[in-house]
């Protein structure tokens, strides 16, 4: 997959109408935007487009409406919120296709912005076709209708780039390919993640956490050939423990992946990659913030469950982070949502922030939430907006939303 893609800076925008895919899949509370991170992330590209003489039509999904028009998943509150951020009117189209929407788009003047209704109100947007010719034809027809909204296509929604959806990839079949380009957010994601894979500054440390190996298996195997050290935390650590014959009490474990855990450890050894597991743990008698807890070594007591890494592990992991020149972090070290088990994850946040000499890349919803919770987000080099997309990128998979854009 060629990562050297054209961006909005590589083409003339003046007098054109841009249809731009953004990721406005934001949480709403009582018809108000509860977290505007994704909206603000798109602002640099939005402002650049309108400041350079183009009109702008914005496409996005919100939630999983399943092809139905659900009022609670309307993008109208997002359009209103965007108007406040831009300090200018933002028009709203009650659909994303039909003659009325196309007319509204055509009437936009240079510098004007319009948000279209949730693309997923149409089942054709994210239809799983799997070779079904009738479904493929329906999705392409829908994408062709979206393409009528502009003469330039910009994709600034990295978080959906791993999906071959109508508005993220297929739309480009019906537009001038040379005018299908990346926005600044997409460019930044490709730059940081691409460099981390192709030419990382070494030592390169990957911190992989979260509940299950199954969700991170492919990325761990892929990283084996690229990193110098892997730090394992979260519930997945105890599947490795079981593979090593340790007692795990009631801790999370994917019994069907015990042999896989052994293979991962062997592959790490074969590739000269240091794979670090917790050397101590915070265990609890129940999954609750008010549980009885204690710190133990590498064996978890019967009727207890490990819910965070312990102080010796924190020290060990901090040392590995302090000497790294590139750090990739995906997945928490424990149940950080509960204060009683947040110390490991928050300590990792601080260790990364304290290493001002490293390129730090944070990916995955929980890791991003932890960094934001820690108040140290501004100390990180790059916080990825794409959970699944980041993982698939790191696994070396093709991202349809990237492949569909014009190469430089």
Q: Catalytic one among 148, 212, 262, 274?
A: 212
Catalytic residue among 6, 21, 38, 242: 38
Active site residue 63: no
Nearest to 193 by CA among 403, 406, 386: 386
Q: Can you name the residues that pair with 309 across neighbouring β-strands?
A: 281
Whether residue 388 lies in the annotated active site: yes
Handedness of CA 104, 110, 114, 119 (dihedral sign): positive
Please pick, among 63, 111, 194, 365, the residue that the annotation labels catalytic. Answer: 365
365 is catalytic: yes
234 has catalytic annotation: no
Tell me the catalytic residues. Answer: 38, 212, 365, 388
């Amino acid at each position: 997959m060629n990562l050297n893609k054209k961006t909005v800076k590589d083409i003339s925008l003046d007098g054109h109408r841009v249809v731009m895919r953004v990721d406005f899949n934001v949480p709403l509370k009582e018809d108000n935007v509860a977290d505007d991170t994704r909206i603000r992330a798109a602002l640099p590209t939005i402002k650049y487009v309108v400041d350079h003489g183009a009109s702008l039509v914005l496409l996005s999904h919100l939630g999983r409406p399943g092809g139905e028009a659900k009022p609670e998943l309307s993008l109208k509150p997002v359009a209103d919120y965007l108007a406040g951020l831009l300090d200018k009117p933002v028009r709203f189209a009650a659909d994303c296709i039909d003659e009325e929407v196309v007319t509204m788009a055509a009437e936009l003047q240079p510098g004007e912005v319009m948000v279209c209704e949730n693309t997923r109100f149409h089942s054709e947007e994210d239809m799983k076709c799997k070779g079904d010719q009738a479904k493929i034809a329906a999705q392409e027809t829908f994408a062709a209708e979206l393409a009528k909204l502009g003469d330039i296509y910009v994709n600034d929604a990295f978080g959906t780039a791993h999906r071959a959806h109508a508005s993220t990839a297929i739309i480009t079949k019906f537009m001038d390919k040379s005018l299908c380009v990346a926005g600044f957010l997409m460019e930044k994601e490709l730059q940081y993640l691409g460099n981390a894979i192709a030419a990382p500054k070494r030592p390169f440390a990957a911190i992989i956490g979260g509940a299950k190996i199954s969700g991170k298996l492919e990325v761990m195997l892929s990283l084996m050939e690229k990193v110098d050290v892997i730090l394992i935390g979260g519930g997945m650590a105890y599947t490795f423990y079981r593979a090593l014959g340790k007692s795990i009490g009631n801790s999370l474990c994917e019994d069907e992946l015990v042999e896989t855990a052994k293979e991962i450890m062997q592959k790490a050894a074969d590739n000269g990659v240091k794979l670090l597991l917790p050397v101590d743990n915070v265990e609890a008698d129940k999954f609750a913030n008010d549980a009885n807890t204690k710190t133990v070594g590498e064996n978890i007591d019967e009727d207890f469950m490990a819910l965070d890494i312990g102080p010796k592990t924190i020290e060990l992991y901090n040392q590995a982070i302090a000497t790294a020149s590139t750090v990739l972090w995906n997945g928490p070290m424990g149940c950080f949502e509960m204060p009683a088990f947040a110390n490991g994850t928050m300590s990792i946040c601080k260790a990364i922030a304290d290493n001002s000499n490293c390129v730090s890349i944070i990916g995955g919803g929980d890791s991003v939430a932890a960094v934001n919770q820690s108040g140290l987000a501004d100390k990180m080099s790059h916080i990825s907006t794409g959970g699944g997309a980041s993982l698939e990128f790191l696994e070396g998979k093709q991202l349809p939303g990237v492949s569909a854009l014009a190469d430089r």
